[in-house]
Amino acid sequence: MDGIVDSSADGRNLSELATELIKRDILGAAFYPGDKLLLEALSERYGIGVNPVREALNRLCSAGFVEHRHQRGFFVAGMSMDALAELVKTRIWLETKALEEAMKNATEDWEERVIVAYHRLARTQLRLGDAAGRDENEAWEARHKAFHLLLLERCGSSWLIDFCSTMMDQSVRYRNLSVSANHARRGDALPEHEAIMNAVVDRDMPAALDLLQRHYMRTFEGLRSLPL
């Protein structure tokens, strides 16, 4: 059985554990848009009972990763270029505002942590090869999200950070589908992250906001060839 985790190890609720595992597999493109999610198969895959799995799927419906179709069951939520375009546009709106507010509240400690987060991402990126496996890709995604969330950390709104975090997760679905199809990540993204970091540390707000917007638009352009 794939992905089984002993929930007694950290005391987490089984439905929370099932939610985490199913979401991980959706984000990692183990399940594709439109795939039917069978309760019994998921229960066997993760070694978790059917009822916690059902509760997890309902939670993931609320989060937009799973769809429930009347009398047909659960399916991985669909993906489309129109949906991606809307997602990117909304991310730019919210994350540039959050970064603007964060930079108004900048501290040396925060700037140092942004530098450290970038260097951790860079080391992970450099270790990725053409044959990078699941663990390597998940490590990259974790450090990539950590870097982008840290940029927003001092915006002063936990609501805004939560919204941005959810949109980041939704973006991962498209990015990992691209990696699955092309077997590589966008090679020019790391210099873009470095440029954003430098603008933040230099407290050059116009440059930082512009670079973040351009970064997301370049990523969007690179995903236009996805078979959606």
For the chain, which domains are there?
A: 7-76 (1.10.10.10), 81-222 (1.20.120.530)
pLDDT of 1-38, one tens digit each?
Answer: 455 554 444 435 999 999 999 999 999 888 989 999 99
**What is the DSSP code (8-state) at residue 33?**
T
* Six-digit token string for 218: 């370049």
Distances (CA, A) of 47 to 25, 30, 40, 162: 15, 17, 10, 30
Mean pLDDT of 177-182: 69
pTM over 0.85: no
Question: What confidence score (pLDDT) does residue 133 get?
Answer: 67
Write the CB contacts of 93 (distance below 8 Å, at least 6 apart in sequence). Answer: none
pLDDT at 7: 42
Mean pLDDT of 148-153: 98
Regarding predicted confidence, which is higher, 222 or 20? 20
Count of C-beta atoms within a 10 Å radius of residue 223 = 19
185: left (phi over 0), alpha (psi -120 to 50) or beta: beta
* Average pLDDT score over residue span 126-134: 65
SS3 track for 51-98? HHHHHHHHHHHHHCCEEEECCCEEEECCCCHHHHHHHHHHHHHHHHHH
